[in-house]
Structure 1
Amino acid sequence: MELFNDASLPLPNAELELHAQWLAPATADQWLAELSAHTPWQQPQVHIYGRQLPVPRLVAWYGDAEASYRYSGLTHQPLSWTPLLAQIRAQVEQAVGQPLNGVLLNCYRDGQDSMGWHSDDEAELGANPLIASLNLGGTRRFDLRRKGGNRIEHSLPLQHGSLLVMRGPTQHHWQHQVAKTRSPCAPRLNLTFRLIKPSP
């Protein structure tokens, strides 16, 4: 298992960039405090193996009016952009060089909150989606495995103020997760910006 730290990640059939210190620490601290305090977090239920279970984290979906987003069997209607989220979106758009019209906020309260194996390959994201993942708060490990495989092939720490960008064929060939951990970890917010494309 390889561990990457910064810049372009040499992953076959993928385009990933990790910018470990994308934000100044003071800005990252300010954004973390404001988003933690003012986001209307929800914990939706998902249908898994015949049971209704709460997702193991808190979430909120913001975006342009047309940017409804369906994943895990749930359709999320966007909340309107706050001034802070609009500011963050503009900075992320400048960094990645394309427009983005929605952001999923995930709150990992402790090491028992997690995100299971998945690819961001929903039809409304288009053929080769760009996912820009801004990380605030505690460091969590981000794992990658090939689709159809069971072995973790790559891992990287997503630290306070870091920006991970996935684009190109990445979602066709790879899955990712944020696994539960027994190690002590501070609460973490993750903002995943994306471009939702209208249905034909």
Structure 2
Amino acid sequence: MLATMTTDFQASLFTSAAVEVPSLQGLVRRVTLSDGAWVDVARGWVRGADQVFPRLVHDIPWHAERREMYDRVVDVPRLLHQYGIGDELPHAALTAARNELNRHYAAELGEEFVTAGCCYYRDGRDSVAWHGDRIGRSRTEDTMVAIVSFGAPRQLSLRPNGGQVHSSHPLGHGDLIVMGGSCQRTWEHAILKTAKAVGPRISVQFRPFNVF
């Protein structure tokens, strides 16, 4: 099933290039939000991402999940996989990305990104609802969550807790967004469903220890 979703995707949308994960110095643009929250954005950070995408599709052991929501159990509208502390990542570009994130944010974060959660959005019907990563230390402490995107662009929407949509960031092929400061506690983010014809997207979320 996964192969049929990506057979023509790369050839029709992206050109080949050598895979490179350059230094973030000078590439990052910071957007200040409210209540001590901020996001950093680096467009096209992973270069040659067209070579990475099909490897992630086929090499990550994707699985579907069902979760209880209100009074019923529903399908999670995306495929998932989690790489824990010490797990080998499925592509050298992800290892290089994590290494550069740890180097660039070492002083500000004060610890390393150690886990990698992966989501496969197969089309516009796949989504993630409004939420903050508030399990673990992120409930009470400032932290960072770094997201690298591969594949078709999707909008990452942001809003203050319970408020209206404040900003929307189109995350494209090889783009990076880092949510920092109080963002997980005081803001929410989502990938909303869309009726537009969109191709598949993979997001890789790098997190510090005990942040979910």
Q: For residue 12 of structure 2, what is the aligned residue in structure 1?
A: none
Which structure 2 residues correspond to residues 90-101 of structure 1 after superposition, within 5 A? 90-97=99-106, 98-101=111-114
How many Å separate the matches in 2 of 1:95 and 1:191?
18
TM-score for the superposition, normalised by structure 2? 0.77
Contact 1:111 1:182 in 2 (8 A): yes
Q: For residue 144 of structure 1, what is the aligned residue in structure 2?
A: 158
How many Å separate the matches in 2 of 1:22 and 1:61?
22
Q: Give the ranges of 4+ consecutive aligned residues of structure 1 lying more than 3 Å apart after TM superposition.
A: 85-88
Contact 2:56 2:90 in 1 (8 A): no
Of all paired residues, the percent bearing the same amino acid is: 31
Contact 1:100 1:194 in 2 (8 A): yes
Larger relative contact order (Cα-Cα within 8 Å, sequence gap ≥ 6):
1
Question: Does structure 1 residue 81 correspond to structure 2 residue 95?
Answer: no
Contact 2:66 2:75 in 1 (8 A): yes
RMSD: 1.8
What is the CA deviation profile of residues 120-140 of structure 1, one whole-angstrom value per residue up to 9, with x for unaligned ones?
121244611210000100000
Question: Does structure 1 residue 7 correspond to structure 2 residue 26?
Answer: no
How many Å separate the matches in 2 of 1:114 and 1:82?
24
TM-score for the superposition, normalised by structure 1? 0.81
Partner SS for 1:29: helix
> Would you tell me which structure has more strand in proportion to its own residues?
1
Partner SS for 1:171: helix
Q: Which amino acid aligns with 1:144?
A: L
Contact 1:89 1:100 in 2 (8 A): yes
Gapped regions of structure 1 (runs ≥ 5): 1-5, 66-79
What is the CA deviation profile of residues 33-91 of structure 1, one whole-angstrom value per residue up to 9, with x for unaligned ones?
211111100111100112111110000000216xxxxxxxxxxxxxx323624344223
Q: 1:170 to 1:102 in 2, by over 3 A?
A: same
How many Å separate the matches in 2 of 1:7 and 1:35?
27
Gapped regions of structure 2 (runs ≥ 5): 1-27
Q: For residue 167 of structure 2, what is the aligned residue in structure 1?
A: 154
Aligned residues: 176
Which structure 2 residues correspond to residues 10-89 of structure 1 after superposition, within 5 A? 10-13=32-35, 14-24=37-47, 26=48, 28-64=49-85, 80-82=87-89, 84=91, 85-89=94-98
Partner SS for 1:134: strand
Superposed displacement of residue 93, structure 1: 2.1
Partner SS for 2:101: helix
How many Å separate the matches in 2 of 1:117 and 1:83?
28
Q: 1:191 aligns with which of 196, 201, 204?
A: 204
What is the CA deviation profile of residues 1-21 of structure 1, one whole-angstrom value per residue up to 9, with x for unaligned ones?
xxxxx7111322212111112
How many Å separate the matches in 2 of 1:194 and 1:185?
27
Q: Which amino acid aligns with 1:90?
A: N
